[in-house]
Structure 1
């Protein structure tokens, strides 16, 4: 169904986008979402593209797979408000750095000077590492806005120990970037391409032969209409693309910070449990803001 999203094809828009785990088996979740839309939104043929991460067997039996019923129930339970991050949903079995650290779900957003909103939701399950080996900081946190990552602390050289992965190559980082601007399909496609650079800034190496990195772009259409064939719109489109890349990088960092260790399953450690002094002030900072 992703071929339908190409600017070269007729595209009526999407009714939902599914990010899930379960490798190819996870695509059943999208079928469940389609049935929900048929039942509740009177859509004859729902357009529900999706992507999955390769996480079969992480924390369970190889035959434990998502089903269409999961997708139906998730649509039924969907609501507005903050998105849960870390080791939840599609991020439950996510790993990074060749299995060295837990990955997970992360989100971030920004409001541009003209009021345009750009947001990102990512499931980080990368072969590459999100951690800079020189100082053990998170690549994505370097792009933080204001006090976003104010509680993070750089480690001393003695604390910064290298991580060696042993996990089989089962990877893919998947994401959705969205903007409040109104865009035709070509402009949204360009935003998705720009956002891929955000993965490369937050994960090293990115886009390897063992990764199936996929980014969907969505324009909600509530703001100014922008088109790639209008020279006056090009600067605004460039700003949105750059913001999508930076926002996706920040979302990767949030996924890593929110992830929790899964020691019952092959001792998958989170970033904050691996480098506790880096996150000690961050946890207090978050607690002081009501867990935000």
Structure 2
């Protein structure tokens, strides 16, 4: 203790992480989110747009993934940064959303110059929402390319408080036997010592899971221990009569629909591709905290990690261990992912025969 603190009655500063002002991935400086939906088809697209090329990585653990341009995120490959990330409904049809985003960016001169060409790098992943009751009779013109372009346009107008629940890639999603949706969460991490720069971690999740976000048949969320304030509503915590967690058997017939939870975690730390990959790996723990089961043969669970590079790993102290900061970032990422997944279910509203959490449990 320094001499100035001996006998002092001043309280120690509160260094606990707290959510950013929007409690969304857009609290990370340098990121925007745009979304577009087709209500008739009950599907949609979410685009994460950095304001400058961002370092990115991916960790994919579900048994049924659908992705585009994810191999280039491997640290052994050449491309160091990306220009957008796309999450889409529509199963394989939804991969076309990235084509719309790519042409939208290129038309605005955003991308890597290759001779006289501009080539945007736009990794993407899709979830399965083809059997949710929407009109999928689109013939040879699926809506996803147009939805991708519309999501980019909407990002210019949405501001940081983008919609949650029935929005974007989560518009037609399901979670267990409930309506799924789009969720978000963030944490501002204080410096590990006085004078260190804080950094921000955020998560965005499109929840279309085979597993349930709830503990049994009641309203308590698996992710409740990581909730901040009332972000998961007044019934998120288990009550004394909630059955204790324990071994369980998901006795379900293999569904005719497929699933997938798609996640983007982001930070303003300056990371390499390999370091971002470690954050994506650690963030997968948040998915397992929030859903049971996770990473099943019927899901394409995928986590992207983005780093905008505004804050050095050793901010304000070149002698500080960067691995400690990296570990703190991964811990926060996992916590944010768990919260974002639960919020995606909490914020989703009934759509057709898919019942929303709040409607089922009598909440406004």
**TM-score (normalised: structure 2):** 0.68
- Indicate yes or no: 2:75 matched with 1:7: yes
Does the 8 A contact of 2:131 with 2:257 survive in 1?
Answer: no
Corresponding residue to 1:178 among 266, 282, 285: 266
Instruction: Tell me the equivalent position of 1:194.
Output: 282
Specify whether residues 120 and 94 from structure 1 end up closer, same or farther in structure 2 by C-alpha distance, changes over 3 A only: same
Specify whether residues 137 and 170 from structure 1 end up closer, same or farther in structure 2 by C-alpha distance, changes over 3 A only: same
Q: How many Å separate the matches in 2 of 1:158 and 1:142? A: 17
Q: How many Å separate the matches in 2 of 1:219 and 1:89? A: 22
Specify whether residues 208 and 254 from structure 1 end up closer, same or farther in structure 2 by C-alpha distance, changes over 3 A only: same
Question: Deviation per CA, 1:196-224, whole angstroms, max 9, x where unpaired?
Answer: 11000000010000011001000010011
Q: Secondary structure at the residue paired with 1:215?
A: strand
- Indicate yes or no: 2:143 matched with 1:66: yes
Does the 8 A contact of 1:135 with 1:154 survive in 2?
Answer: no
Corresponding residue to 1:214 among 287, 302, 306: 302
Q: How many Å separate the matches in 2 of 1:30 and 1:61? A: 22
Q: How many Å separate the matches in 2 of 1:186 and 1:113? A: 24
CA shift for structure 1 position 165:
6.9
Q: Over alpha carbons, which structure has the higher Rg?
A: 2
Specify whether residues 240 and 62 from structure 1 end up closer, same or farther in structure 2 by C-alpha distance, changes over 3 A only: same
Does the 8 A contact of 2:165 with 2:183 survive in 1?
Answer: yes
Corresponding residue to 2:170 among 91, 102, 121: 91
Instruction: Tell me the equivalent position of 2:199.
Output: 116
**Alignment map for 1:15-54 (pairs within 5 Å):** 15-43=83-111, 44-54=118-128
- Indicate yes or no: 2:351 matched with 1:275: no
Specify whether residues 212 and 45 from structure 1 end up closer, same or farther in structure 2 by C-alpha distance, changes over 3 A only: same
Q: Secondary structure at the residue paired with 1:176?
A: strand
CA shift for structure 1 position 72:
1.3
| Cα RMSD for the two superposed structures | 2.4
Does the 8 A contact of 2:175 with 2:345 survive in 1?
Answer: no
Specify whether residues 61 and 221 from structure 1 end up closer, same or farther in structure 2 by C-alpha distance, changes over 3 A only: same
Question: Deviation per CA, 1:53-80, whole angstroms, max 9, x where unpaired?
Answer: 1111323233344331221121122133
Specify whether residues 177 and 26 from structure 1 end up closer, same or farther in structure 2 by C-alpha distance, changes over 3 A only: same
Count of residue pairs the alignment pairs up: 268
Does the 8 A contact of 1:16 with 1:47 survive in 2?
Answer: yes
Q: Secondary structure at the residue paired with 2:306?
A: strand
Instruction: Tell me the equivalent position of 2:40.
Output: none
Q: How many Å separate the matches in 2 of 1:88 and 1:59? A: 17
Does the 8 A contact of 2:232 with 2:346 survive in 1?
Answer: no
Q: How many Å separate the matches in 1 of 2:242 and 2:328? A: 38
CA shift for structure 1 position 192:
0.5
Larger helix share, 1 or 2: 1
Which segments of 5 or more consecutive residues in structure 1 lack a partner in the other structure?
A: 284-292
**TM-score (normalised: structure 1):** 0.85
- Indicate yes or no: 2:251 matched with 1:131: no
Larger strand share, 1 or 2: 2
Question: Deviation per CA, 1:231-261, whole angstroms, max 9, x where unpaired?
Answer: 9211111110010000010001111111001
CA shift for structure 1 position 168:
2.7
- Indicate yes or no: 2:161 matched with 1:82: yes
Q: How many Å separate the matches in 1 of 2:251 and 2:343? A: 22
CA shift for structure 1 position 169:
4.0
Q: How many Å separate the matches in 2 of 1:150 and 1:75? A: 31
Question: Deviation per CA, 1:27-70, whole angstroms, max 9, x where unpaired?
Answer: 11100000011111343111000011111132323334433122
Q: How many Å separate the matches in 2 of 1:14 and 1:156? A: 45
Q: How many Å separate the matches in 2 of 1:9 and 1:254? A: 35
